């Protein structure tokens, strides 16, 4: 009985350690009004050392590019595409092509026209894939709500 209890305890500890979910990217959000009728949204990814997220313009089929979508709302209108800083571009021997990505942190920007006076909330989601040198985690979609004051 003592051996059975030890085996069960060892299996539980192993399953707990192996079952931990990796979350190497955290997202934060900020909005700044640039005029009475316009605001800029700042969407920041903090990326753990050794990991990277793809830029918005990688070749189709080679990982998941970072993609932003914004919910339609009568309070605001999205202006153009989400801006991104210049990514790191390197040859990936696993994919056999050049890929563009971000390490450590990246701030994306999105302009919106305000159709009503603040406060209001811009809602949407970001879809992304995070990888290190040996693996990629499954695609993730994170919903966000960004208050504009």
The residues near 96 (Cβ < 8 Å, ≥ 6 apart) are none
Average of per-residue pLDDT values in the chain? 86
Which ranges in the chain belong to alpha helices (H)?
2-18
pLDDT at 122: 97
Of 17-26, 30-39, 112-121, 128-137, which range is least confident?
A: 17-26
CATH hierarchy code of domain 23-148: 2.60.40.1250
pTM for the model stands at 0.82
User: Which stretches of the chain are assigned E, i.e. beta strand?
Assistant: 25-35, 38-47, 52-54, 67-70, 76-83, 88-92, 97-103, 105-114, 120-128, 130-131, 140-148
Measured in whole angstroms, how far is the alpha carbon of residue 102 from the centre of its chain? 11
* pLDDT tens-digit readout, 64-87: 899 999 999 999 999 999 999 999
Angle, alpha carbons 84-90-96 (nearest 5°) = 120
Would you list the domain boundaries of the chain?
Answer: 23-148
How many Cβ atoms are within 10 Å of 54's Cβ, its own excluded?
22
């Amino acid at each position: 009985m003592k051996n059975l209890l030890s085996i069960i305890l060892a299996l539980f500890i192993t399953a707990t350690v192996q079952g931990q979910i990796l979350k190497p990217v955290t997202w934060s959000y900020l909005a700044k009004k640039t005029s009475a009728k316009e605001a800029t949204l700042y969407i920041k990814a903090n990326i753990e050392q050794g990991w990277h997220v793809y830029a918005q313009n990688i070749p189709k089929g080679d990982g998941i590019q970072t993609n932003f979508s914004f919910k339609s709302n009568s309070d605001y209108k999205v202006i153009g595409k989400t801006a991104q800083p210049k990514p790191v571009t390197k040859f990936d021997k696993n994919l056999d092509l050049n890929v563009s990505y971000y390490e450590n942190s990246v701030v994306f920007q999105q302009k919106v026209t305000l159709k009503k006076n603040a406060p209001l909330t811009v809602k949407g989601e970001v879809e992304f894939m995070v990888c290190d040198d040996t693996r990629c985690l499954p695609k993730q979609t994170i919903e966000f709500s960004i208050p504009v004051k």
